Amino acid sequence: MAYKSLEECLLDLERNGHLVRVTEEVDTYLEMATIHHRVYEVGGPTLLFENVKGSKYRAVSNIFGSLERSRFIFRDTLAQVQQLIALKNNPIEGLKHPFQNMGALFAAFKALPLKNPINKPVLFEEIKISDLPLIQHWPMDGGAFVTLPQVYSEDIDQPGIMKSNLGMYRIQLSGNNYELDKEIGLHYQLHRGIGVHQTKANKQGIPLKVSVFVGGPPAHAVSAVMPLPEELSEMTFAGLLAGRRFRYTYKDGFAVSTDADFVITGEVIPGENKPEGPFGDHLGYYSLQHPFPLMKVHKVFARKNAIWPFTVVGRPPQEDTSFGQLIHEMTGTAIPKEIPGVKEVHAVDAAGVHPLLLAIGSERYTPYAPTKQPAELLTIANHILGTGQLSLAKFLFITADPTNQLSTHHEAEFFQYILERIHLDRDIHFHTNTTIDTLDYSGTGLNSGSKVVFAAYGEPIRTLDKELPACFNNLSGVKDFRMIMPGIAAFSTKCYVDSTSTLEEVKQLNGQLASEISNCSGTLMLIWCDDAEFTSRNLRNFLWVAFTRCNPSHDMYGIGEFYQHKHWGCAGPLIIDARIKAHHAPAVELDPEMIMKTDRLFAKGGSLAGVLG
C-alpha cells in the first residue's frame, strides 16, 4: 500500500503481527542496539521503542528485519518495479505487449517527484540535534550515529531534484570534536554520488548544501541504497517503490522531504574535515577514526509525533542484509544486461559484501579450441571490476557453466566447482596497489589494497579431498588443522608477528610440503587463521574469516610458488593468510553486561517476553 508516513507503515505492521511495542524506558547508550541485535538474531518483529531515555521521540528498528517483511511492506508495488526494470532491460517487450505492461507504465507516473506548494508535516517544529535519540550502537563507537539516513545533495551545475543524489551515508551526531547541535560528521565512501557533487562545489569554492532525511515512507530509505546510474535521481525510484510521488519543498535554500519524520539541513565547507568514527560497521569490524567532511548544521526539523528509525550493523547477516536481498529481487536481471556475457553475480553477505564476489559468465571466444580455458571470462572479470560498486570487490571467483546448473548463491557448491577446475599455475590474476572498500582494513591504508581474480573453466581436473590428507599431519609449528569443505582446510599457528616472520613460516611450510604436493593435490586452499576450529565450524565463519582478513597481494602464498613474466602461480596448495594483523580493525562484540541488563525485557512480564523463544 502507498504509505504516507512511517507511522502509517508501522501501524500496518502491527495490525498484521509484525511489530511489538517496547514500553519500558530504554537507554540510547548500547541498550537499544543490544535489544535490536538479540531480536534480529531470532528473526523477531519490528520494535517500536515508546520510552526513549533522554528524548521525547519514539524510535523504531528492525523494520526490514527479513526479506518476507520487506516483501510485505512493498506488496503492492514490488511486482510493478520488477516489471519496469525488466522493460528497461527489454523495451521491445513493452511494444510487443502494450496492454499487459500498461499497469507498470502507469505506475511510472509515480516516479515524478511532487513539489509541495505549502510547508507540510516535517516542518511542524524546529528542534536541535540534542533533542534526537542519540543512539550509540557498539562499545567502541565514537558517539551517536544516524544509521538509516537519506543524505540529499544537488549538482551545483544542474540544480534541482531530477539531478540530485540520495545516499545512505553514515552521519555522526555527537562525540569526538564535534560541537553538539552545530556540527555533525558526514562519512561517505568510494563510488558515491555525493562525492561528485562535493568535488564540483569545492572547485568553485562554495559550500555544498546537504539535507539529511530520516524516516518517512520506507521506500525512501530503500531508494537511498539503490545502485542507480548517476544520471537517475533516487527520488524517482522512491516514488515508484512507494506507489506515491516523492513530496518535497525548499526551506532556506535546502531541499526538504515533506514526508520525512526528521530533516537536518547544513553545509559542507570546502576543506573542512574532522575526525569521524570509530563505528562498528557491516563487515563485522570497527571502521576506525579518519578525517571526513564536516557538516555545519543549519536547522533541524521534526514532524508532529515523529519516529526515529535506526538499525544496527555488525558482522553479517544483519538487518542491512535484507536490503541487499530486496535489491537483488528487484534488479536481479539488470547486471547481466549491463555486462555482456554475465549470467549471475553474487556479492557474498557473510563476507561483508564487497570483499567477496562470485560470478558466472559465458565462455564463447574459442569454441573451436580443443582445450577449454578462461578467455571471455577474463574480459568479463575486468568489466565487473570496472562497474560501479562491483569495482570494490577484493576477491572475484568467476567461472562458466554450460549446463546452467551452477548457482553463485550456493557458495559451498560454487567453491567446489571452481577448485575442481582451477589451474593454480595459470588461473590466479592479481591487481596490486588499487582501491578497495573504505571499510576494509586488510589493505595497506584507507581505500588502498589489492584484488585477485580466480578464473576457472573446463572439465574437472581433480577430485577434491573430503578428509584431511595425511601430509598435513604433524607439520612443525602448526597447532591445529581442520577440513572446512571438500578442497579447503584451515590451520592455525602462532599469532601474526610481521611480514618477515611470515615469510620464514611460509618457507618452513614449503620445506615440509613441497615434496608432498602429489599427496595433497585434492586440497587446493589452506586458510591460515588464528582459530582453525572456529573457522571450520560453519560456512559463515569461513567466509568471514578468510575474505575479510586477507590483502591478496600481501597475504596470499603457495606451496611451490613462482613468478614467470610477472605472473604469479604455485604448484601446490594456495595459502590465504587470514590471521589478524596489527593494522586490522577490531571486531565488534556485544557488551556482556548490556546483554544482562536487557534480559528484563525478555523475562515474564516484559514487553518482549517470549520473543527469544
Q: What is the pLDDT of residues 128-159, one digit of tens each?
A: 999 999 999 999 999 999 999 999 999 999 99
CB 108 within 8 A of CB 101: no
Residue 33: enclosing H or E segment and its boundaries? helix 31-41
**For position 37, what pLDDT does the model report?**
97
The answer to whether residue 595 scores a pLDDT higher than 90 is yes
The answer to whether residue 89 scores a pLDDT higher than 70 is no
Residues in the chain: 613
Instruction: Report pTM.
Output: 0.91
Q: Which of 100-104, 501-505, 562-566, 605-609 has the lowest mean pLDDT?
A: 100-104
CA distances from 464 to 131, 525, 545 (A): 60, 11, 22
Domain 6-319 = CATH 2.30.110.10: yes
Residue 249: enclosing H or E segment and its boundaries? strand 247-251
Query: What is the arithmetic mean of pLDDT over 296-312?
Result: 97
CA distances from 389 to 167, 192, 284, 467 (A): 13, 9, 19, 38
| Per-residue pLDDT reduced to its tens digit, 528-587 | 999 999 999 999 999 999 999 999 999 999 999 999 999 999 999 999 999 999 999 999
- The letter for the amino acid at 540 is R
Q: Which of 65-69, 355-359, 444-448 has the lowest mean pLDDT?
A: 444-448
Which span out of 48-57, 218-227, 440-449 was modeled with the highest average pLDDT?
Answer: 48-57
Percent of the chain whose predicted confidence (pLDDT) is above 70 = 93
The answer to whether residue 388 scores a pLDDT higher than 50 is yes
Mean pLDDT of the chain: 91
**For position 238, what pLDDT does the model report?**
92
- The letter for the amino acid at 534 is F
| Nearest-angstrom CA–CA distance, 517 and 519 | 5
Q: What share of the chain is helix, strand, coil (3-state, %, to 5)?
A: 30, 25, 45
- DSSP designation for 134: -
Q: Can you spell out the DSSP letters for 273-310?
A: EEEE--EE-TTSBEE--EEEEEEEEEEEEE-TT-EEEE
What are the extents of the domains in the chain? Answer: 6-319, 320-456, 470-577
Angle, helices 234-242 vs 78-89, to 10°: value is: 130
**For position 555, what pLDDT does the model report?**
97
Backbone angles phi, psi at 354, to 5 degrees: -70, -30
**For position 93, what pLDDT does the model report?**
44
Which burial class, exposed, middle or buried, applies to 474 when counting CB atoms under 10 A from its CB (0-12, 13-18, 19+)? exposed
| Per-residue pLDDT reduced to its tens digit, 186-208 | 998 755 778 889 989 999 999 99
The answer to whether residue 237 scores a pLDDT higher than 70 is yes
Q: How confident is the model at residue 106 (pLDDT cuts 50, 70, 90)?
A: low
Domains 6-319 and 470-577 fall in the same CATH topology: no
| Nearest-angstrom CA–CA distance, 548 and 140 | 20
The answer to whether residue 63 scores a pLDDT higher than 90 is yes
**For position 497, what pLDDT does the model report?**
95
**For position 329, what pLDDT does the model report?**
83
Query: What is the arithmetic mean of pLDDT over 452-474?
Result: 95
| Nearest-angstrom CA–CA distance, 542 and 527 | 8
CB 150 within 8 A of CB 257: yes
Residue of 150, 100, 102, 93 whose CA lies nearest to 122: 150
**For position 99, what pLDDT does the model report?**
41
**For position 333, what pLDDT does the model report?**
59
- DSSP designation for 585: P
Looking only at the bridges linking them, the beta strands covering 183-187 and 170-172 are antiparallel
**Apex CA 460: angle with CA 457 and CA 463, to 5°?**
140
**For position 280, what pLDDT does the model report?**
96
**For position 94, what pLDDT does the model report?**
41
DSSP E strand stretches across 141-238: 145-146, 149-153, 165-167, 170-172, 183-187, 208-214
The answer to whether residue 17 scores a pLDDT higher than 60 is yes
| Nearest-angstrom CA–CA distance, 209 and 296 | 10
Class at the top of the CATH hierarchy for domain 320-456 = alpha beta
**For position 79, what pLDDT does the model report?**
86
CB 175 within 8 A of CB 142: yes
470-577 fold: UbiD C-terminal domain-like (3.40.1670)
Contacts of 35 by beta carbon, 8 Å cutoff, 6+ apart: 22, 26, 47, 598, 601, 608
| Per-residue pLDDT reduced to its tens digit, 332-363 | 656 667 788 999 999 999 999 889 999 999 99
DSSP E strand stretches across 43-202: 46-49, 58-61, 114-115, 125-127, 145-146, 149-153, 165-167, 170-172, 183-187
| Nearest-angstrom CA–CA distance, 383 and 435 | 16
Percent of the chain whose predicted confidence (pLDDT) is above 90 = 76
Q: How confident is the model at residue 498 (pLDDT cuts 50, 70, 90)?
A: very high
Q: Which of 3-7, 86-90, 455-459 has the lowest mean pLDDT?
A: 86-90
**For position 91, what pLDDT does the model report?**
43
